[in-house]
Amino acid sequence: MPKDTFYLTTPLYYTNSTPHIGHAYSTIAADVLARYHRVAGKGKSHFLTGTDEHGQRIADVAAAAGMTPKEFCDQIVERWKQQWRDINISYDQFIRTTDPDHEAAVQRIFTTLREKGDIVPGRYEGWYCRNDETFWPESKLIDGRCPNPECRREVEWLSEDALFFKLSAYRERLIAHFLANPAWVRPQSAYNEMFSLLEGGLEDLCVSRATVGWGVPLPGGGGTIYVWVDAICNYITAAGYPLDLDRFSHLWPADVHLIGKEILRFHTIIWPALLMALDLPLPALVFANGWITMEGEKMSKSKGTVVRPAELTAQFGVDAMRYVLLAQAAFGSDFGFSEEQMLRRYNADLANDLGNLVQRTLSMLARYRDGIVPESHVNDALSAGFDDARAAYEDALANIDFRGALTSAWERVRALNLYVEQTKPWELAKKPDRAELDRVLYDLCEGLRWIAAFVYPFMPTTGEAMWSSLGLSGVPGAPWSDALRWGALATGSRTTVPPALFPRIEAAAAAS
């Protein structure tokens, strides 16, 4: 069967700790894309996320907690799932690398690669970062330490019999793919970095560990499969490969892999090489989000600069956090974040612009028309503006430009606020002939209907509240092909005035 589903993934999150705002950032971005593709008339959407639970680091943390690795992971995974529920993440599938079907599929993949001659025996001697579970050539070390800026721990010398994936054999094919598909890795800086790495040459990859017991067992025994190979295969094992090829045909190749830029090499060099070895198509797009920084540095648990999502949602609400994270900067770039910045954007964009528009529009409709939507009509100028906004919004999300999509939506929010000031419904209500007032009130309500559809992927609860306040049922904007045409709000719909969507927050209250 042909592929018929928009398939997007987050990275698998490592279960040595609980989620922070950086994890939430990637996952919210995926959730926005998933919700958008479910309503925008572009086919079904399948949103995969999950947890990476193998490797020596997990075993060490579990031992320190007096638990087995599986007991520790079971406990931590529930915290991750609860966090995603708390911030309204609508994933379709949650994979754990300890799932028995995933482990069986990884072993089948490993066996296939050995039988094809792509995995061969050898001996590993080199530097290994226990914390990152990454092998590093000496040329990459910084002052003898792990080059990952999040780690910088001491590395250890390993010497053991091992199995190697012939990564170097795929260098020319990888270069050809990069050249033929210049937009498959984004942003451009990520593409440039990985292409430069390819040009510098590739070494074969050690894909087994004789001394690590917590992982997927090697077929035939003798150790475990390298944790990164186990983890990155989740994208195809979750889709059904190689155990359910009918399911796999509907999902693969992935349309978007969303990842953190620190794991680019695994996803844009090692992962595509493995797919080439399996004769499988490559994902259409790997997009690396930037880092959220505090005081100019990436958030760090060890430095005490980690922000947990619950800290923000307690003050500002879930939808506000989701909005601000994606409106703050172009996706793919690093950006600074603070509660002060969030407060300013919350009050300006959400309380003043959107919240005020909803309240004043539906309050005027209640006051002047008992909450009943007047007769529908076409306003050519407003209609054209919203059509243009829809086109810009769709183009932005096609390019994983969340801020661009929100900008197009907020241009319409501000245009409607300006329309209120220009038409002055409170003055029109004093005139004997109320036809003009009816036209203005209809325009405002119809505009709110479109805006509810625009904001829904980013702020689901807000979009649903706006939608239901207009007397509508179902998912806001679903499907766009029917819903997003001017004049579709039915005459006579009974509206309600919702509680304030975004009550203004004063600085003192936010700090308390």
State the residue range of the domain holding 383.
339-511
| Burial (0-12, 13-18, 19+ Cβ within 10 Å), 415 | middle
Instruction: Choose one of 289, 305, 324: the last residue of a domain.
Output: 289
Extract the tokens encoding 316.
């500002």
Q: Nearest to residue 300, comparing CAs of 471, 454, 152, 417?
A: 152
For residues 437 and 497, state if they share a domain: yes
Whether 105 and 178 map to the same domain: the answer is: yes
Question: Looking at 289, 324, 347, which one is the last position of a domain?
Answer: 289
Residue 391 and residue 295: Cα distance in Å, rounded?
A: 37
Neighbours of 33 (CB within 10 A): 22
Task: Report if residue 319 sits inside a domain.
Answer: no
227 within a domain of the structure (yes/no): yes
Q: How many domains does the chain have?
A: 2
- Residues 477, 396: one domain? yes
* Per-residue pLDDT at 511: 55
Q: What is the pLDDT of residue 273?
A: 98
Which residue in this structure is represented by tokens 């927050």? 505
Tell me whether residue 302 is in a domain: no
Query: pLDDT by residue for the chain (512 residues), tens digit each?
Result: 689 999 999 999 998 777 889 999 999 999 999 999 999 977 789 999 999 999 988 999 999 999 999 999 999 999 999 999 999 999 999 999 999 999 999 999 999 999 999 999 998 887 888 777 777 777 778 888 888 776 888 888 878 889 999 999 999 999 999 999 999 999 999 999 999 999 999 999 999 999 899 999 999 998 999 999 999 999 999 999 999 999 999 999 999 999 999 999 999 999 999 999 999 999 999 999 999 987 656 655 555 567 889 889 999 999 999 999 999 999 999 988 888 899 999 999 999 999 999 999 999 999 999 999 999 998 999 999 999 999 999 999 999 999 999 999 999 999 999 999 999 999 999 999 999 999 999 999 999 999 999 999 999 999 999 999 999 999 999 999 999 999 999 999 999 999 999 999 987 555 55
Other C-beta atoms lying within 10 Å of the C-beta of residue 189: 14
Report residue 30 as tokens.
């995926």
Are residues 255 and 362 located together in one domain of the fold? no
Q: Are residues 222 and 362 in the same domain?
A: no
Q: Are residues 278 and 367 in the same domain?
A: no
Is residue 191 situated within a structural domain?
yes
* Nearest-10 crossing angle of helices 402-423, 318-327: 110
The whole-model pTM stands at 0.93
What is the model's pLDDT at position 145? 87
Q: Per the domain annotation, does 299 fall within a domain? A: no
Is residue 334 included in any domain, yes or no?
Answer: no
Alpha-carbon 194 to chain mean position: 21
CATH classification of the domain holding 399: 1.10.730.10
Element (H, E) at 335: strand 335-336
Closest C-alpha among 444, 442, 438 to residue 415:
444
Give yes or no: residues 267 and 366 share one domain. Answer: no
For residues 262 and 349, state if they share a domain. no
Residue 153's pLDDT is what?
Answer: 83
In a domain, 198, yes or no: yes
Q: Do 256 and 354 fall into the same domain?
A: no
Domain boundary among 289, 309, 331: 289
pLDDT of residue 159: 80
Q: Tell me: do 60 and 176 sit in the same domain.
A: yes
Please report the pLDDT score of residue 108 as a whole number. 98
Q: Which two tokens stand for residue 116?
A: 């094809």
- What confidence score (pLDDT) does residue 506 get? 87
Residue 197 DSSP SS3: helix
Q: Which two tokens stand for residue 351?
A: 């309380």
Do 83 and 20 have their domain in common? Answer: yes
Domain CATH for 103: 3.40.50.620
Q: Both 75 and 178 in a single domain?
A: yes
Vertex 258: Cα angle to 35 and 217 (nearest 5): 115
Fill in the amino acid letter for 240. Answer: G
501 within domain boundaries: yes
